């Protein structure tokens, strides 16, 4: 195929702001505090930022790490990097410096953009890394040793020649803890993202006249790729908040007459419990979305009672699916409460046994998918990529069961993934960290049901000597792990239950200590 034909047929992530600008030029695209962009203005600032990245020496395929809370600059970078074929590496701002250093080294990032309040952590991460980061830019107040990110958005140099970005050229590296001791870098392409955006828009009934409040972290693909970037794609208006603070969310919905909002169940519960809920005008809200875990039935009933005009969707998936896989739609919420729904329009999902043979309804097996949503693979890890894509299906690592009507229920994490407060935590990573404590002989980490966190990270520890204080282990965990990964509960015991082959029986531990989350 000639270059001219490829250019004429290009449909890449970086093209979306330009196309929406030509459809909705004067319409408000993004609001972040006192900053507002129309779609025409958004496209222009994306162009300037992309040109500035080129002028700074970044080329197609280079990796740029981004460490920031939600802000309009995050949205701009998402498209500006993609427009030049630069691979964006969003970094979880709750990670510590050593964890961030691993992401920098593994991704091979040559540029680092950090929010001014996070540059101290970023500098520690760079110091602990191999030192490949050559370009440092700070969002907000200029920081010593860091260039001002405003230099990019106000760039007035010439626009470089367009870069041809193919459907399967990597444009994003999303690091997911998965079930391993170290995070894996899922490679996402325009093909994966744009097919996923289409699935969200069609099955999630997303339209150009939506006004949406975005408060969950944009480093996570759920908020970024199921909602914010889809809004830019469809021509909807996005209200960006720095964090999911209930009072701020409620105020933003009222002031902007928002029609649409996404959050995990923990945030919806926080909104219901907020003293401002009853006094805030939420009459504009029409669409509500949740994910990361099923919504408790009693909360669904309360939402239906207190927000009677809002229709709800449950989105289930994972980073490697960009991230949507299945959807439970509004008319299915009550009859199939707790279900992950049915496959999205561009996804084929089945459940298989350990030999990858499909199992009948009612039988638990591993959830696997076929879809253009799927990751291109794990960066610098051919072995894990091959294992994930066995026999032509992407293996999710989650265990599930279909009922006779074709609705999927997720019943377990195949390798003990813990989903807490909307974040993935690998039990093995927590275990390895706790083993660094001088008094720990054995440890098993798992999640237990919790009314706020959905799952709480819990550790059962066998001490080397009697007298180990559980609070000491909790405190230690906070020094070696990001806060959301550190155990909420620690139990000290004489031994761990094991099967004849020596495998720790975590299901038995969950049953024995599940009451902790209810106390």
The C-alpha atoms of residue 122 and residue 227 are separated, in whole angstroms, by 27
The C-alpha atoms of residue 143 and residue 86 are separated, in whole angstroms, by 24
Stretch 429-440: mean pLDDT, rounded? 87
pLDDT at residue number 427: 77
Portion of the chain with pLDDT greater than 70, in percent: 97
pLDDT at residue number 499: 55
CA-closest candidate to residue 326, choices 369, 272, 278? 369
Contact 394/369 with Cβ under 8 angstroms? yes
Residue 501 has pLDDT above 50, yes or no: no
Contact 242/216 with Cβ under 8 angstroms? no
Q: Which residue has the higher pLDDT, 118 or 416?
A: 118
The C-alpha atoms of residue 358 and residue 237 are separated, in whole angstroms, by 42
pTM for the model = 0.84
Stretch 340-369: mean pLDDT, rounded? 96
Q: Which residue has the higher pLDDT, 284 or 176?
A: 284
pLDDT at residue number 123: 97
Structural tokens at position 255: 């002031």
CA-closest candidate to residue 492, choices 452, 443, 436, 429? 443
Domains (range + CATH), the chain = 3-306 (3.40.50.12780), 340-413 (2.30.38.10), 417-518 (3.30.300.30)
Distance of CA 90 to the CA centre of its chain: 10
Portion of the chain with pLDDT greater than 90, in percent: 79
Lowest-pLDDT range of 167-171, 190-194, 477-481, 502-506: 502-506
The C-alpha atoms of residue 302 and residue 6 are separated, in whole angstroms, by 52
pLDDT at residue number 177: 62
The CA–CA distances, whole Å, from 487 to 41, 137, 258 equal: 45, 34, 36
Q: What pLDDT band is residue 179 in, cutting at 50, 70 and 90?
A: very low
Structural tokens at position 481: 């792990």
pLDDT at residue number 425: 81
Average pLDDT, the chain: 93
Stretch 102-118: mean pLDDT, rounded? 97
Stretch 469-483: mean pLDDT, rounded? 94
What sign does the CA torsion over 458, 462, 468, 473 have?
A: negative
pLDDT at residue number 2: 87
Count of Cβ atoms closer than 10 Å to residue 427 Cβ: 25
Residue 178 has pLDDT above 60, yes or no: no
Lowest-pLDDT range of 73-82, 84-93, 278-287, 392-401: 392-401
For residue range 293-319, what is the model confidence (pLDDT) as tens digits? 778 777 888 999 999 999 999 999 999
Strand partners, 398: 413
pLDDT at residue number 181: 57
The three-class DSSP label of residue 323 is coil
pLDDT at residue number 489: 96
Q: What pLDDT band is residue 364 in, cutting at 50, 70 and 90?
A: confident
Lowest-pLDDT range of 122-136, 220-234, 335-349, 422-436: 422-436
The C-alpha atoms of residue 421 and residue 442 are separated, in whole angstroms, by 26
The C-alpha atoms of residue 86 and residue 170 are separated, in whole angstroms, by 8
Structural tokens at position 518: 């209810």
Instruction: Annotate 184-248 with DSSP letters as a single string.
Output: EEEEEEHHHHHHHHHHHHHHTT--TT-EEEE-S-TTSHHHIIIIIHHHHHHT-EEEE-SS--HHH
The three-class DSSP label of residue 397 is strand
Contact 364/400 with Cβ under 8 angstroms? yes
Q: What pLDDT band is residue 500 in, cutting at 50, 70 and 90?
A: very low
pLDDT at residue number 412: 63
Phi-psi region of 131 (alpha: psi -120 to 50; beta: other; left: phi over 0): left
pLDDT at residue number 180: 46
């Amino acid at each position: 195929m000639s270059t001219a034909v490829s250019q004429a047929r290009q449909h890449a992530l970086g093209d979306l702001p330009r196309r929406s600008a030509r459809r909705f030029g004067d319409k408000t695209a993004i609001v972040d505090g006192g900053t507002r962009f129309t779609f025409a203005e958004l496209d222009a600032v994306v162009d300037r930022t992309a040109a500035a990245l080129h002028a700074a020496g970044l080329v197609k395929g280079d990796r740029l790490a981004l460490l920031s809370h939600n802000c309009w600059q995050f949205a701009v970078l998402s498209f500006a990097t993609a427009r030049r074929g630069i691979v964006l590496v969003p970094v979880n701002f709750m990670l510590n410096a050593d964890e961030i250093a691993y992401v920098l080294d593994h991704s091979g990032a040559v540029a680092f953009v950090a929010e001014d309040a996070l540059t101290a952590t970023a500098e520690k991460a760079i110091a602990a890394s191999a030192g490949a980061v050559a370009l440092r830019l700070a969002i907000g107040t200029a920081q010593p040793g860091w260039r001002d990110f405003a230099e990019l958005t106000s760039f007035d140099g010439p626009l470089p020649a367009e870069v041809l970005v193919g459907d399967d050229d990597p444009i994003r590296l999303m690091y997911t803890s998965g079930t391993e001791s170290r995070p894996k870098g899922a490679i996402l392409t325009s093909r994966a993202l744009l097919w996923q955006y289409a699935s969200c828009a069609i099955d999630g009934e997303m339209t150009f006249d939506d006004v949406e409040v975005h408060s969950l972290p944009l480093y996570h693909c759920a908020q970024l790729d199921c909602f914010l970037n889809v809004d830019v794609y469809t021509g909807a208006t996005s209200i960006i908040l720095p964090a999911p603070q209930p009072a701020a969310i409620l105020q933003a919905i009222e002031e902007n007459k928002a029609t649409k909002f996404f959050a995990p169940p923990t945030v919806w519960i926080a909104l219901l419990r907020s003293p401002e809920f009853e006094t805030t005008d939420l009459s504009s809200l029409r669409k509500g979305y949740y994910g990361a875990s099923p919504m408790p039935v009693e909360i669904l009933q309360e939402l239906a009672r207190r927000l009677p005009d809002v229709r709800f969707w449950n989105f289930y998936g994972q980073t490697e699916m960009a991230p949507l896989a299945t959807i439970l739609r509004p008319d299915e919420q009550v009859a199939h409460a707790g279900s992950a729904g049915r496959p999205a329009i561009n996804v084929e999902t089945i459940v298989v046994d350990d030999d990858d043979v499909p199992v009948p309804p009612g039988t638990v097996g591993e959830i696997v998918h076929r879809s253009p949503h799927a990751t291109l693979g794990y960066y610098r890890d051919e072995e894990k990529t091959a294992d994930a894509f066995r026999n032509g299906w992407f293996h999710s690592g989650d265990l599930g069961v279909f009922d006779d009507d074709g609705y999927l229920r997720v019943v377990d994490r195949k390798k003990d993934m813990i989903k807490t407060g909307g974040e993935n935590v690998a039990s093995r990573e927590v275990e390895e960290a706790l083993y660094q404590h001088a008094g720990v002989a054995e440890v098993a980490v798992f999640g237990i049901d919790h009314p706020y966190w959905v799952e709480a990270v819990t550790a059962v520890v066998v001490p080397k000597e009697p007298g180990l204080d559980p609070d000491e282990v909790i405190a230690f965990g906070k020094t070696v792990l990001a806060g959301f990964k550190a155990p909420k509960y620690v139990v000290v015991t004489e031994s761990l239950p094991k099967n004849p082959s020596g495998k720790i029986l975590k299901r038995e531990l969950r049953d024995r200590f599940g009451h902790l989350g209810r106390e």
